[in-house]
């Protein structure tokens, strides 16, 4: 449960790590347009580092339900200048949130140091090769379908086993391409082809994913299932719901949480870690 590469070292056995979300998009479900301005995005990245982010995850294409893909050129235009500016002045890992190998390669050339692939290495067959060549960590996430159709009546015969099989196959693809086993992170994909009940089931059973022997990332931040549980509240009123899921997920085995509200969730994680850690008594 440790990641070591380049000049970076993350020890998940000591505490939960915080991945801060930076969407440089006009249409992301939660913060679309807020950080689309390059200058504002760069300022937000440094603010998240100040608030306790261990990793910044930069994405240039919305993967909200029903979203349409954008061109590689547009994704590069949105992300690369921000990555270049942030990596010039910060000393934490910068992750590129993309399923396109060319975007990943260009981002890694711009000194990004991780890849977060929502497709679990499935949408672009060249992605495993790129990650392997650059010897960086990769997040393998589960998704049912594509962002455009994933929420159209998602069904499972056996939710947890099916997600585990998908992640297990993603790990196999990664290793076959030469990606080191100790550079693989798994993510069960909250909200990506799941109903409210599916999401709750994943959170309740998150400890089962420890059988895959990889660090577990979970990304519940501000997602629609929280709004539904809380009575159809808007995105701006899902902070407490996010905090509750973050705390429970940590208790159930999460090693990293991907969040928008870094300052608040870093505090939640600190308390959850203190409760979970063996006490001297």
Catalytic option among 258, 263, 276, 277: 258
Residue 3 falls inside a structural domain = no
Which tokens sit at 58? 């930069």
- Number of DSSP helices (H) and strands (E) in the chain, helices first: 9, 10
User: Is residue 8 in a domain?
Assistant: no
Looking at the domain assignment, is residue 265 inside a domain?
Answer: yes
Q: How far apart are CA 246 and CA 216, in angstroms?
A: 12
Structure tokens at 32: 């679309």
Domain count, the chain: 1
CA R_g for the chain: 17
Q: Could you give the residue ranges of the DSSP H alpha helices within the chain?
A: 38-51, 72-89, 101-109, 127-134, 159-176, 196-204, 224-229, 239-251, 262-276
Tell me the per-residue pLDDT of 87-121, one tens digit each, with 9 for 90 and over.
Answer: 998 899 999 999 999 999 999 999 999 999 999 99
Q: What is the span of the domain harbouring residue 233?
A: 17-147+154-274
Q: Is residue 281 in some structural domain?
A: no
- Assign residue 179 the CATH number of its domain: 3.20.20.20
Residue 223 catalytic? yes
Q: What is the mean pLDDT of the chain?
A: 93
Say what the pTM is: 0.94
Residue 201 lies in a domain: yes
Q: Does 241 reside within a domain? A: yes
Q: Look up tokens 């990004």; give the residue.
A: 112
CA atoms within 13 A on the CB side of 23: 19
- Dump pLDDT digits (tens) for 150-190: 999 999 999 999 999 999 999 999 999 999 999 999 999 99
- Among residues 15, 100, 183, 223, the one annotated as catalytic is 223
194 is catalytic: no
């Amino acid at each position: 449960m440790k990641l070591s590469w380049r000049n970076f070292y993350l020890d998940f056995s000591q505490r939960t790590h915080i991945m801060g979300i930076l969407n440089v998009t006009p249409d992301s479900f939660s913060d679309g347009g807020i950080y689309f301005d390059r200058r504002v995005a760069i300022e937000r990245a440094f603010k998240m580092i100040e608030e306790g982010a261990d990793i910044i995850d930069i994405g240039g294409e919305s993967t909200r339900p029903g979203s349409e893909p954008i061109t590689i050129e547009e994704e590069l235009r949105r992300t690369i200048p921000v990555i270049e500016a942030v990596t010039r002045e910060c000393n934490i890992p910068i992750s590129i949130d993309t399923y396109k190998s060319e975007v990943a390669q260009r981002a890694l050339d711009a000194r990004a140091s991780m890849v977060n692939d929502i497709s679990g290495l499935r949408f672009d067959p060249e992605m495993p090769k790129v990650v392997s060549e650059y010897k960086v960590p990769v997040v393998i996430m589960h998704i049912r379908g594509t962002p455009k159709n994933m929420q159209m009546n998602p069904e499972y015969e056996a939710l947890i086993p099916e997600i585990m099989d998908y992640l297990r196959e993603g790990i196999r693809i990664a290793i076959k391409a030469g990606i080191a086993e100790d550079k693989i992170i798994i993510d069960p994909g909250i909200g990506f082809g799941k109903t409210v009940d599916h999401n709750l089931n994943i959170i309740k059973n998150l400890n089962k994913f420890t059988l895959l022997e990889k660090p577990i990332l979970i990304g519940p931040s501000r997602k629609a299932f929280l709004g539904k549980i809380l009575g159809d509240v808007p995105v701006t009123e899902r902070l407490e719901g996010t905090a509750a899921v973050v705390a429970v997920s940590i208790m159930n085995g999460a090693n990293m949480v991907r969040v928008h509200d870094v300052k608040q969730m870093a505090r939640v994680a600190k308390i959850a870690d203190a409760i979970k850690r063996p006490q001297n008594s």
